[in-house]
Structure 1
Amino acid sequence: MSTQHDQRLSLPGLGPLAPTSTEEEQPAHPAGPVIELERVSVCLGGRSILQDVTFTIGPGEFIAVLGPNGAGKSTLLKVLLGLIRPSAGQVRIFGQAPRRGNRLIGYAPQHRLLEGAISLRARDLVGFGLDGHRWGPGWLRAGGRRQALIEQALTEVDALALADMPVNQLSGGEQQRLLIAQALLSQPRLLLLDEPLSNLDISHEQEIIALIARLSRTRGMTVLLVTHDVNPLLPVVDRVLYLARGHAAIGKPEQVITSATLSALYGAPVEVVEALGRLFVVGVDI
C-alpha cells in the first residue's frame, strides 16, 4: 500500500482531524495528485447528489468509497470518468479536467452475473476492453497484439486457465476477475471499481480483495473501490472516503468510521460499535 498524504478531514460542525503520515516513497510515475476535487457539487434531475466536496488522492493509494444507497458513490465515479459534469467546483484527474475515454483510467462497473452470455468466451469478454467500441480491418490486423494483451491481463488476475471457458459457466468471483482484467488492458494508473464485491461469497470476496491489493502494489496504481462493507478491506486500504447527505469525509478508517465523524456527516446521532474485530454503524440506514 502507498504512503499516506497530508489530507485533513473537514466536516460541517467538525474541525479538521490530524493529518495522515507524510512519509514519501518514490513513485513509478510522475509525482502529483491523481484526483483533485475542489468544492464540487453535482445535481441530477433537480436533486443535489454531492455538495461542496473537496479532497485529494495521491499516486498508489487504495481508497474504499462508502456510504448509503443514493449517497453518490457511483455518481462520483462517473464524474471522474467524464460522464457527468459537476454543477459547481473543479475536478482534475492527473492535473487535467476529466474526459471520456481516458486510457489512464480503468473502470469496472457494477457486476451482475452474466448468465445469459451463452456463447461468449472469457477472453472475448476481456477483449471488449480493447475494441468493444469498434470493428473493421484495423481490428483484424491487430489480432496478434490483441490476444497477447488479453492473455497478459488474464494472467495478472490469475484467470488465464479460464480464457476459453463460456462466461455463463463461471462463478461470480471468476466473472469479476474477467471484468478487472478488462479494466487493466489500457495499462491504467487509476482503477475505479463499482461494487466489485457484491454477489460474492466470503471466500471469493477475500480472493478479489487480495487480487486488487496486489495489483495496486505491483503496478503502483491508485484504486477507488465502492463498497457497502469496509470490514473485509480494513487490512488493505490506505484511507476511506465516506459519502452521506451530499457531503464527504476522507481519512484513515479509524479517523472516519467513528461516532463523532459520522454523526457530523449525517447530521444525526450515529454510533460506531466494534465487535469481533468488525465495525458496525448503528442508527442510520447504510
Structure 2
Amino acid sequence: MALLPGPRTAAEDAPPDDAPAISLRGAALSYGDREVWRDVELDVRPGEFLAVLGPNGSGKTSFVRALLGRHPLSAGTLSVLGRAPRAAGRDIGYVPQQSSLSTQTMVRARDLVRFGIDGHRFGLPRRSAAVRRRVDEILDAVGASAYADVPLGLLSGGERQRVRIGQALATDPRVLLCDEPLLSLDLHHQRAVTALVDARRRSHGTAVVFVTHEINPVLDLVDRVLYLARGGHRVGTPDEVLTSESLSELYGSRVDVLRVQGRVVVVGAPDGPATPAHHDTVEGARP
C-alpha cells in the first residue's frame, strides 16, 4: 500500500536532509496569565515519530496549534522546516480530533480528500482528470476506495479517520500532525490508523507528531516522547520518560509505571496517559 507523493515545484525548497523538521528553543505558551508549558527544547527529525502525552489541560492540543501557527509562543522560538509555522503551509499535514457528524452530511469521502488538494485556493475547486486521479490514488493508499462516494456522516469512526489521513496526505506533507486520532476507535481501527501513519513516515521520511492519551497502540512505533504536565515536561525515548522515577519527579508525587505483557500502565498520575479518552482543555475552553 504505497502513499503516493503529489507533484512539487522547484520553489518548494526542502531543508537539508540533516536539518530538523521541527525545532523549538526555550519555547513557552500561555493563555492570558496561565502558562501552559515553558522551556521546551526539542528537535524533531525527518522520519521521526514523536508521541505527545500528558493529562488534561497540559497543553497537548495547544502544542499542535503552535506548530500549525494558530497560537503564537509567549516566549522562545519555533520553526517548522526552517520557517515560521504558518509559512510551512502545505508542507504540514493535519489530522484533527474526531468530531460528531450528522447523518445528513452530504460531503463525501472523495470530497474531503479533494479539499486537501485544492481547499487552499480561492474560487471553485479544480475538477481536472489529474486531480480526480490524485484523489483516487490517495483513497486507495489509505484503504478508503470502497466508500469513496459515501457521505462522511454515514461512515464509521475508523473509516472517517482513514479519509482524514488521506486529506492530510493530499499535499505530500513533510510534517504530519495528528491530534488524538485514536479517540473513540476500537482496537482494530486504532491499529489500522497507526499503521497508515507509520507507513507514511517510513516511506517518505515524514516527521510525525502524534498526540495521544493512550501510548500503548503506538508504543512500538514511537522514537521519542514529549510528556507534558503542569509540573513541567520530559523528552526522551519511551524507556527514558515512562518510568516511575521520571514521572514521579515530573508530577511531584508518587507515580508508578508498570509494564504488563508489553503494555505500559501508569498508576497515580492525575488523568494520566493510561486513562480513557479525554479532551485537552484550558480553563474550560478548547485551546
Both structures adopt the same fold (TM-score exceeding 0.5)? yes
> 1:79-120 CA distances to partner (integer Å, 9 max, x unpaired)?
111111101001111122221661111001111242345322
Aligned counterparts of 2:68 and 2:214: Cα–Cα separation in 1: 24
**What percent identity do the matched residue pairs reach?**
45
Counterparts in 2 of 1:91 and 1:195: CA distance versus 1, 3 Å: same
Q: Which amino acid aligns with 2:109?
A: A
| Counterpart selection for 2:72 from 85, 98, 101 | 85
Please, which of 199, 205, 226 is the counterpart of residue 184 of structure 2? 199
Q: Secondary structure at the match of 2:89?
A: coil
Aligned length: 258
Q: 133, 157, 162: which one pairs with 1:177?
A: 162
**Structure-2-length-normalised TM-score:** 0.84
2:42 aligned residue? 55
Structure 2: which amino acid aligns with 1:211? L
Equivalent residue for 2:148?
163
Note the residue ranges of structure 1 that are not aligned, 5 or more in a row: 1-26
Query: Does the CA contact (< 8 Å) of 1:49 and 1:246 recur in 2?
Result: no
Alignment of 1:112-191 (within 5 A): 112-136=99-123, 139-140=125-126, 143-191=128-176
Quick one: distance in 2 between partners of 1:100 and 1:199? 33
SS in 1 for 2:52: strand
Q: Which ranges of structure 2 fall in alignment gaps of 5 or more residues?
A: 1-13, 273-287
- Tell me the residue number matched to 1:70: 57
Distance (whole Å) between structure 2 residues aligned to residue 185 and residue 33 of structure 1: 22
Letter in 2 for 1:242: Y
Instruction: Identify if the C-alpha distance between structure 1 residues 151 and 28 changes in structure 2 by more than 3 Å, giving closer, same or farther.
Output: farther
* 2:85 aligned counterpart, secondary structure: coil
> Could you say what secondary structure the match of 1:33 adopts?
coil
Alpha-carbon distance change, 274 to 89 in structure 1, aligned in 2, over 3 angstroms: same
Q: Which residue of 2 aligns with 1:33?
A: 20
Mapped contact 1:51–1:246 kept (Cα < 8 A): no
Is residue 231–residue 252 contact of structure 2 (8 Å, CA) maintained in 1? no
User: Judging changes above 3 Å, is the alpha-carbon distance between structure 1 residues 171 and 29 closer, same or farther for their aligned structure 2 residues?
Assistant: farther
Cα offsets for 1:265-286 (capped at 9, x unmatched): 2222211112232111111212
Rounded Cα–Cα distance in structure 1 between residues aligned with 2:100 and 2:131 = 25
| 1:28/1:46 CA distance change after superposition, 3 Å | closer
Runs of 4+ in 1 over 6 A off after TM superposition: none
